[in-house]
A and B are shown apart, each in its own frame.
Chain A
Amino acid sequence: MTVRNRGALAAVAAGAAALTVAAVVTIASRPTAEVGADEVTALASTTPSAAGDRSPVPVRKGELPTGAEVVPPVGLRIPTIGVTATVNAVGINPQTNEFEVPPSVDQVGWYRYGPGLAAPAGSVVIAGHVDSSTQGEGAFFRLRELDQGDKLTVTGSDGQERAYRVIAREEYQKTKIPLDRYFARDGDQRLTLITCGGPFDADTRRYRDNLVVTAVPA
C-alpha cells in the first residue's frame, strides 16, 4: 500500500470519527423528551365546589387580616442527581418583575408569596440556577435528568421532612410557559422545580427555555 493510499484511508477514518462524534453529541444533547404533561394539567384544575344555593351565607368578624401561618421550605435533597441545597425565601425583583432566584447558584429559592409546605392546595415553587457564567454549575444543573418516580425530600422550617415523587418534566420556551399554572395557589398539592434550559444565546447570555419538574407528595 502506498503512503498516499494510507493517508487517504486515515482521512476516511478521521472523517468517520468526526461524523460519529457530531452525531452522538447531537443525540445526547437533544431536548429531553417531556413526560407527565397531562398529569400536571390535571393537578392544576380545581374541583367546582358542591355548595348549593341554600347553603348559609358565611359570616366573619371583620377583623384586620393577620399573616397566615406558612411553613417555608429550608432544605432540598434530590439523591438521583446529587442535589443537597439550602432553600431561601425569595420574592420578586422590583426592576424586572421576575422571580428573584438566589444569586448564589448553589442555593435555590422558594417563592414566598405562593403556598408553603403546609398549604392544603396549590403549587410550592422552588427555582434554582442551572449555571452561571461566573460561578459555574448551579444546584439545578442536572434537573433535566429527573424522571417520573424519582424521589426528593424537602425540609420545612418546622423541621419536618416531606417526601415527594416526580410525576412530570416539561420544557417550554420562556415566551410561552404557562406560569399561572405553576404559580397557582389552588388545585392539588404539588411541588414545582424550575430552572433554565434549551439552546443558549451567547450574545444575550440567556437560555431560551425553562425546564419544569413537577412532584407530588409521595
Chain B
Amino acid sequence: MQRSYFRRVAAGGAVAALTLVGVGALTATPAYAATAEVSVVHGIPDTPVDVYVNGEKTLDNFAPGDVAGPLSLAEGAYDIALTKPGEPVDSAILTVDDAEVPGGTNISLAAHLDASGQPKITPFVNDTSKVDAGKSRLIVRHTAAAPAVDVRAGGAPVFTELTNPNEAKADVDAGGVSADVVLAGTETVAIGPADLDLGEGTATIVYAIGSAEANNLEVVAQTITGLHSAPAGVPSGNGGQAATGTNTWLYLLAGAGALLLVGGGARVATARRSNR
C-alpha cells in the first residue's frame, strides 16, 4: 500500500529533508499525546552504523538485522545521521534533517536499500489500533533492492505486487503459518519459506531487506504487543436454574397469601362478632 502522505527524500551520502506530511491530521492526535514511540530498523546488509539523533549518539554499533526501540520522543523535528562505527557525525554516510515526528504516533524508521540498491531511510507509521479477539496483524514492508513481490501464506498469495518502499497489511487469525516471498506473479521464491508465529493481539512487521542482485535477501521482524481486545462476551448458561431476582410465581404466591390472610381474617372477625 502506498503511504502517499509521506514525502521521502533521502539518498546515500546526501543531506535530505524528511517530512511526515499530514500524519498528525490523519491520525487525529489527541492534544495530550505529545510523544511518539519510535523504533529503528537496520536493513542495510553488511553495514554496521552508529546512529545520531540531533547530533547525539543514540545507538552504538547498530548491526544489520537489528531493531532498536521503541524510544519515546517528544513530538518535533529531528536530525538523524548514520555513521560508520566510531566515525564523527560530520562524516555521516546517511543523514535526514528535520524529520517530523508527530505526537501520538508509533513510527518505525527503516534504514534500507531502495529498489536500485541505494541506502535510504523510510519512516513508516505503525498501525497500532486494536485487533479483534483471536486476531493478529501482519504487516509486510518491501525495503529491499528487488522488484515487486507477492507474499504467500500456506502457499496462497496474501499480498501481491508489493514494491519498495511500501507496505501491505491484514488482520489474520492468530497462530502459526508458513510464509514465503516470491517474485510478483511467479513461483520463484525470493525469501523463505519461514514459519511465522503470529501472536494474538500483536502486530508482526516483517521487512524484506537486502539485495536480489547481491543474493542476500532476508527478513527482519519487529513485533508490537498490547493490541488485543477482550471477547465480545462470555455466554455461560442457558438453563435458567441459577436465576436470581424475584420470579413471577413468587409474586403470585405472595398475592394469594395476602388475599387469604385478609379474607380469612375478615371471616374470623365476622364469625366472632356473630357468635357473641
Contact = CB atoms under 8 A, between A and B. Distances in A.
B234 interface: yes
Interface in B63-118: 65-69, 71
Interface stretch (B15-23, B119-127, B150-158, B224-232): B224-232
B261 A59 contact: no
Contact of A62 (B220, B238, B266): B220
A186 B228 CA distance: 12
B168 interface: no
Contacts of B207: 62
A137 B67 contact: no
A163 interface: no
B132 interface: yes
A97 B220 contact: no
Given A62-B220, A65-B221, A113 B197 contact: no
A127 interface: yes
A96 B232 contact: yes
A194 B62 CA distance: 47
B11 interface: no
Given A62-B66, A62-B221, A62-B222, A19 B257 contact: yes
A180 B220 CA distance: 32
B67 A16 contact: no
A141 interface: yes
A213 to B, nearest CB: 13
B33 interface: no
Interface string A184-218: 01100000001111111010011100100000000
A164 interface: no
Nearest to B233: A98
Interface string A111-132: 1010000000000000111111
A139 B217 CA distance: 54
A13 B65 CA distance: 87
B233 A59 contact: no
Contacts of B240: 131, 133, 200, 202, 205, 207
Contact of A18 (B223, B244, B253, B263): B253
B197 A66 contact: yes
B197 A19 contact: no
Contacts, number: 247
A188 B259 CA distance: 56
Nearest to B266: A8
B121 to A, nearest CB: 16
Given A30-B244, A60-B66, A62-B41, A128 B257 contact: no
A2 B244 contact: no
B210 interface: no
A11 B230 contact: no
B221 A64 contact: yes
Interface in A79-97: 91-92, 94, 96-97
A64 B246 contact: no
Interface string A16-32: 11111111011001111
B254 A23 contact: yes
Given A130-B236, A137-B241, A195-B237, A64 B195 contact: yes
A8 B272 CA distance: 11
A79 to B, nearest CB: 20
Contacts of A174: 233-234
Contacts of B238: 131-133, 205-207
B196 interface: yes
A97 B257 contact: no
A15 B244 contact: no
A21 B253 contact: yes
15 contacts: A5-B275, A11-B267, A14-B257, A15-B256, A15-B264, A29-B243, A31-B245, A59-B66, A60-B66, A60-B67, A61-B65, A64-B195, A97-B232, A130-B236, A199-B245
